[in-house]
């Protein structure tokens, strides 16, 4: 495997890694909160012609590459997953259609050649769609996940827009999107429920929230956060965890009777919460954890092998 720069450019986050093909591992990395949405906002504010958009985004990449430790080979290609292929990214690429078959040659990848102003060739990876849902970024992580048998499986990708991918006979048949992370941020920061401070996981109120989330109507159960504060005098930190559990429970409640293996693909920050929630709702199948960063790099390695 040859070395390359691995970029995961999401809506609200940016991660850049140097993949060392000789050692078969990530040898340097950096991350920031300047996701595609913020970069696009700056692009619109700059009021430049559309023909200059790619160069504007490439300058952002140069700034990030310069933050990587060590001397970075200026000829290394860059593989970009996430929102780089969206309407607010470098350029909008069409989605590939489900079903998903773990074949990297099916991915839609746009190559942008290096020039004298930017010495790295770009490979922009597009997303996948069904007739009624879309994803950008999770498809690369899904490609990195190993599927070694024909049994039914569910892959869960928690996040701003969580994805549940349903797999059978080594084929992703369909997926569902849940706006769990985005709704949580809106409620916790901009609604009448916004007075809870962030803190480490408190399992008791979180689990109570999960149990509330799997019952009744979400628009009704959300208000119970307010009731807990005013009537039950629950402290703000506990209510913050309760709200988190309530929304995650509402996301996962359809899986309460799942008997197949479930693969949780995320970072450490969300791992504990989702594992607690899955056990609380009583899934019958085995639960496995896969690190999302590792899966993304593995997926990009498979795609890179088609080009390098």
CATH of the domain at 233: 3.30.420.310
Decide if 32 is inside a domain. Answer: yes
Does 21 lie in the same domain as 116? yes
> Could you give the 3-state DSSP secondary structure of residue 42?
helix
Report the number of distinct structural domains present in the chain: 2
222 & 278 share domain: yes
Of 114, 136, 158, which marks where a domain is finished?
A: 136
pLDDT tens profile 50-92? 999 999 999 999 999 999 998 899 999 999 999 999 999 999 9
Residue 22, domain extent: 4-136
The DSSP code sequence of 258-306 is: --SEEEEEE-HHHHHHHHHHHHHHT--S-EEEEEHHHHHHHHHHHHHTT
Average the pLDDT over 250-279 and give the result: 95
Distance CA 7, CA 32 (A): 12
The region of weakest confidence among 55-64, 73-82, 134-143, 226-235 is 226-235
Q: Which two tokens stand for residue 69?
A: 């430790």
Same domain, yes or no, for 122 and 220?
no
Q: Give pTM, 2 decimals.
A: 0.94
237-256 average pLDDT score: 94
**For the residues 17-34, what does the mean pLDDT come to?**
95
pLDDT digits (tens, 9 = 90+) for 147-173: 989 999 999 999 999 999 999 999 999
Give the pLDDT of residue 216: 83
Q: Is 197's pLDDT higher than 80?
A: no
Same domain for 11 and 123? yes
State the Cα–Cα distance between residues 49 and 41, nearest whole angstrom: 14
One domain for residues 226 and 287: yes
pLDDT above 90: residue 235: no
Q: What is the pLDDT of residue 233?
A: 82
Domain shared by 193 and 126, yes or no: no
Whole-number pLDDT of residue 1: 81
Is 198 within the bounds of a domain?
Answer: yes
Query: What residues contact residue 188 under an 8 Å CB cut-off, 6+ apart?
Result: 194, 196, 240, 243
Q: Is residue 110 part of a domain?
A: yes
And the tokens for 55?
A: 């160069």
Q: For residue 41, what are the CA distances in angstroms to 26, 34, 35?
A: 31, 11, 10
- Residue 165 forms part of a structural domain: no
Q: Are residues 131 and 31 in the same domain?
A: yes
- Measure CA 136 to chain center: 8
Quick check: is 271 in a domain?
A: yes
Examine the domain organization and report whether 83 and 20 are in the same domain: yes
260/188 same-domain check: yes
Let me know if residue 57 belongs to a domain. yes
- pLDDT of 195 > 90? The answer is no
Share of residues in the chain with pLDDT > 70 (%):
99
Q: Can you give the pLDDT at residue 236?
A: 86
Does residue 112 sit within a domain? Answer: yes
Quickly state the pLDDT bin for 207 (edges 50, 70, 90): very high
Asked whether residue 196 carries a pLDDT value surpassing 70, the answer given is no
Q: Are residues 107 and 197 in the same domain?
A: no
- Indicate whether 198 pLDDT > 90: no
For residues 37 and 91, membership in a common domain is answered with yes
Identify the pLDDT of residue 257: 84
Q: What is the mean pLDDT of residues 227-252?
A: 92
Of 93-102, 131-140, 152-161, 199-208, the least confident = 199-208
| Number of C-beta neighbours around residue 123 at 10 A | 24
What length does the chain have?
A: 308
Strand order in the sheet with 128-129: 96-97, 128-129, 134-135
Q: What is the CATH number of the domain that holds 95?
A: 3.30.420.300
Give the residue from 85, 110, 136 where a domain finishes: 136
Confidence band of 129 (pLDDT split at 50, 70, 90): very high
- Is 306 inside a domain boundary? no
Q: Are residue 212 and residue 121 in the same domain, yes or no? A: no
Instruction: Identify the pLDDT of residue 298.
Output: 97
Question: For the ranges 5-19, 94-108, 227-241, 259-273, which has the lowest average pLDDT?
Answer: 227-241
């Amino acid at each position: 495997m040859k070395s390359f720069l691995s970029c995961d450019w999401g809506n609200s986050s940016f991660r850049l890694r140097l993949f060392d093909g000789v050692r078969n591992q990530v040898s340097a990395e950096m991350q920031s909160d300047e996701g595609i949405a913020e970069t696009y906002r700056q692009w619109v504010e700059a009021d430049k012609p559309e023909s200059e958009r790619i160069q504007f985004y490439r300058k952002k990449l140069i700034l990030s590459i310069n933050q990587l430790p060590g001397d970075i080979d200026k000829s290394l290609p860059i593989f970009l997953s996430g929102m780089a292929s969206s309407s607010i990214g470098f350029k909008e690429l069409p989605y590939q259609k489900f079903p998903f078959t773990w074949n990297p040659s099916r991915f839609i990848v746009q190559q942008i050649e290096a020039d004298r102003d930017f010495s790295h060739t770009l490979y922009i990876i597009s997303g996948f769609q069904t007739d009624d849902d879309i994803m950008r970024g999770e498809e690369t992580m899904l490609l990195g996940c190993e599927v070694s048998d024909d049994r039914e499986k569910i892959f869960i990708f928690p996040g701003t827009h969580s994805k549940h991918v349903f797999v059978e006979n080594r084929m992703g048949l369909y997926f569902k999107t849940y706006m769990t992370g985005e709704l949580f941020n809106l409620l916790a920061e901009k609604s009448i429920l916004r007075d809870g401070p962030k803190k480490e996981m408190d399992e008791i109120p979180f689990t109570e929230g999960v149990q509330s989330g799997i019952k009744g109507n979400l628009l009704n159960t959300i208000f119970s956060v307010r009731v807990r504060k005013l009537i039950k005098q629950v402290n703000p930190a506990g209510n913050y965890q309760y709200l988190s559990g309530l929304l995650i429970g509402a996301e996962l409640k359809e899986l309460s009777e799942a008997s197949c293996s479930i693969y949780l693909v995320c970072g450490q920050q969300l791992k504990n919460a989702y594992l607690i929630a899955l056990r609380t709702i009583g899934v019958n199948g085995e639960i496995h954890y896969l690190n999302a960063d590792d899966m993304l790099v593995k997926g990009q390695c498979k795609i890179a092998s088609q080009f390098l």
